[in-house]
């Protein structure tokens, strides 16, 4: 853009020497002592130039007059709106005065230097630290001391766990020493396993009492009992015990005996007892057959001579008004074949109760507690109000099913 370009329609006229700055509203011009700058040289040329249609534009008067207020045709009029429907707002509540916070100095509370928790490297700088090896020795000594203390206190701790004697029940000190024949008899029975298997095969295949008498330990003395109780097994003539039939030598009733356990052809189990007889062995028929002087069917009905009854005895808790727990110990006696059972009672404080307690109680020496035991009992009838299947134990003949030995 060139500053020297002249545009008559876009420039104000030059100032003339007779121009004045007065009140344009009333047309009064006051003389002024101020001296205006010199008029431009080409202002006369501009004023003398004709204004034609081609140069039509706005003409600005040099003197302006201010119009009066009343002469302005459209004047904004402020009117106040009134009426009952107008509600004026109450003056807003004044703002609360600003609270001036005055600064003050607060003294920091003093701390006890001795109570301060001194931490950081600066507090421990230069102090001697415990060597790791010394720590290991200290910990090892503490562990050894703890172990020694535990060993010292161990007997005292175990004394609290030791079994105590039950003073509420009568105590019996009865010791039965089982006299064992010796090692020779044990070796003799072990060496006769084949003879025992052949002897039992002959017994199982026998069809008459006469064939059984030479095989059994009782011999001819048991002829009456055999005639009454023995029945043929009616096995095939080709049957023989399996080679893996178990053979053991237990000790019971103060003597050794052989025990042969296996299965019949129908897979029913059998248990045969054998005892030494001179230079050979013989079958203990009463123990093998579970001989009883009265059948269990009669015992359940409360009848029969029960002077010798074999069975499996189990401790029980069946009591009633006739058999109170304060006076008796309750047992359940099951038949040798496991098909029937009766209730038996031993009066507290008698020999039968003491003998049975040795079997079912642990005693002072810790051992496995038995829950069942093969026994041979002498039973008698109890009080008149007893049930038919309730019997009293008169005597425990033997803690096994072996044939009773003759008493001196």
Give residue limits of the domains in the chain. 183-289, 296-398
Highest mean pLDDT among 84-93, 168-177, 227-236, 322-331: 322-331
User: Are the C-beta atoms of 401 and 259 separated by less than 8 Å?
Assistant: no
Helix (H, G, I), strand (E, B) or coil at 341: strand
Residue 258 and residue 211: Cα distance in Å, rounded? 22
User: Are the C-beta atoms of 245 and 260 separated by less than 8 Å?
Assistant: yes
Poorest-pLDDT segment among 56-60, 153-157, 220-224, 280-284: 56-60
Structural element, H or E, at residue 261: strand 258-263
User: Are the C-beta atoms of 258 and 403 separated by less than 8 Å?
Assistant: no
Q: Once rounded to an integer, what is the mean pLDDT over residues 236-244?
A: 90
pLDDT at 196 over 60: yes
Residue that is written with structure tokens 């706005």 in the block:
58
Residue 393 and residue 299: Cα distance in Å, rounded? 13
Poorest-pLDDT segment among 114-118, 134-138, 288-292: 114-118
Q: What b/e sequence results for 231-241 when a residue is b if at least 16 CB atoms lie within 10 Å of its CB, and e otherwise?
A: eeeeeeeeeeb
pLDDT at 20 over 60: no
Query: In terms of Cα–Cα distance, which of 274, 273, 330, 337 is closest to 311?
Result: 337
Of the pLDDT bands very low, low, confident and very high (cuts 50, 70, 90), residue 115 is low
Q: What is the DSSP string of 146-161?
A: HHHHHHHHHHHHHHHH
Residue 77 and residue 261: Cα distance in Å, rounded? 137
Residue 136 and residue 253: Cα distance in Å, rounded? 63
Residue 356 and residue 376: Cα distance in Å, rounded? 11
Helix (H, G, I), strand (E, B) or coil at 16: coil
Q: Which tokens belong to 255?
A: 């003597």
Q: Once rounded to an integer, what is the mean pLDDT over residues 295-302?
A: 93
User: Are the C-beta atoms of 17 and 32 separated by less than 8 Å?
Assistant: no
More confident of the two residues 84 and 318:
318
Q: What is the DSSP letter of 115?
A: G
User: Are the C-beta atoms of 184 and 249 separated by less than 8 Å?
Assistant: no
Residue that is written with structure tokens 């006890």 in the block:
112
Evaluate whether the domain defined by 296-398 bears CATH number 2.40.160. Answer: no
pLDDT tens-digit series, residues 197-227:
999 999 999 999 999 989 888 888 888 888 8
48 CA to centre of own chain: 122
Of the pLDDT bands very low, low, confident and very high (cuts 50, 70, 90), residue 23 is very low
Mean pLDDT of the chain: 77
More confident of the two residues 188 and 178:
188
User: Are the C-beta atoms of 343 and 332 separated by less than 8 Å?
Assistant: yes
Residue 165 and residue 181: Cα distance in Å, rounded? 34
Poorest-pLDDT segment among 25-39, 278-292, 346-360, 380-394: 25-39
User: Are the C-beta atoms of 264 and 258 separated by less than 8 Å?
Assistant: no
Q: Once rounded to an integer, what is the mean pLDDT over residues 105-118?
A: 67
Angle (CA) 65-66-68 rounded to 5° is 130
Residue 28 and residue 21: Cα distance in Å, rounded? 10
Q: Which residues pair with 125 in a beta bridge?
A: none
Residue that is written with structure tokens 């109570």 in the block:
115
pLDDT tens-digit series, residues 158-177:
766 655 555 455 544 444 54
User: Are the C-beta atoms of 331 and 344 separated by less than 8 Å?
Assistant: yes
User: Are the C-beta atoms of 400 and 333 separated by less than 8 Å?
Assistant: no
């Amino acid at each position: 853009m060139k500053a020297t370009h002249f545009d008559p329609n876009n420039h104000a006229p030059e100032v003339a020497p007779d121009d004045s700055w007065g009140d344009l509203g009333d047309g009064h011009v006051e003389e002024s002592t101020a001296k205006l700058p010199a008029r431009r040289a080409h202002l006369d040329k501009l004023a003398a130039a004709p204004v034609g249609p081609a140069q039509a534009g706005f003409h600005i008067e040099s003197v302006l007059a201010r119009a009066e207020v009343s002469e302005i045709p459209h004047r904004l009029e402020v009117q106040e709106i009134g009426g009952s429907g107008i509600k004026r707002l109450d003056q807003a509540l004044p703002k609360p005065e600003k609270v001036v916070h005055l600064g003050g100095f607060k003294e920091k509370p003093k701390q006890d230097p001795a109570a301060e928790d001194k931490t950081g490297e600066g507090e421990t700088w230069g102090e001697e630290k415990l060597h790791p090896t010394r720590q290991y020795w200290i910990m090892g000594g503490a562990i050894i001391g703890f172990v020694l203390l535990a060993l010292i206190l161990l007997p005292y701790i175990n004394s609290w766990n030791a079994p105590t004697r039950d003073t509420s029940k009568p105590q019996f000190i009865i010791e039965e020493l089982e006299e064992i024949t010796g090692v020779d008899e044990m070796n003799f029975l072990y060496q006769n396993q084949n003879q025992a298997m052949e002897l039992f095969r002959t017994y199982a295949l026998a069809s008459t009492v006469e064939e059984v008498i030479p095989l059994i330990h009782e011999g001819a003395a048991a002829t009456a009992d055999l005639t009454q109780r023995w029945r043929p097994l009616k096995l095939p003539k080709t049957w023989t015990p399996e080679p893996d039939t178990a053979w053991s030598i237990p000790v019971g009733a103060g003597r050794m005996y052989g025990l042969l356990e296996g299965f019949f052809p129908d897979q029913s189990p059998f248990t045969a007892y054998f005892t030494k007889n001179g230079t050979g062995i013989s079958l203990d028929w009463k123990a093998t057959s579970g001989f009883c002087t009265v059948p269990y069917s009669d015992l359940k009905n409360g009848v029969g001579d029960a002077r010798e009854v074999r069975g499996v005895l189990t401790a029980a808790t069946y009591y009633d008004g006739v058999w109170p727990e304060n006076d008796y110990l309750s047992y359940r006696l099951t038949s040798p074949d496991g098909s029937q059972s009766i209730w038996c009672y031993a009066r507290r404080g008698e020999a039968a109760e003491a003998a049975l307690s040795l079997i079912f109680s642990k005693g002072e020496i810790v051992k496995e507690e038995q829950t069942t035991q093969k026994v041979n009992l002498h039973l008698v009838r109890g009080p008149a109000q007893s049930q038919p299947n309730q019997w009293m134990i008169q005597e425990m003949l033997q803690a096994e099913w072996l044939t009773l030995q003759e008493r001196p």
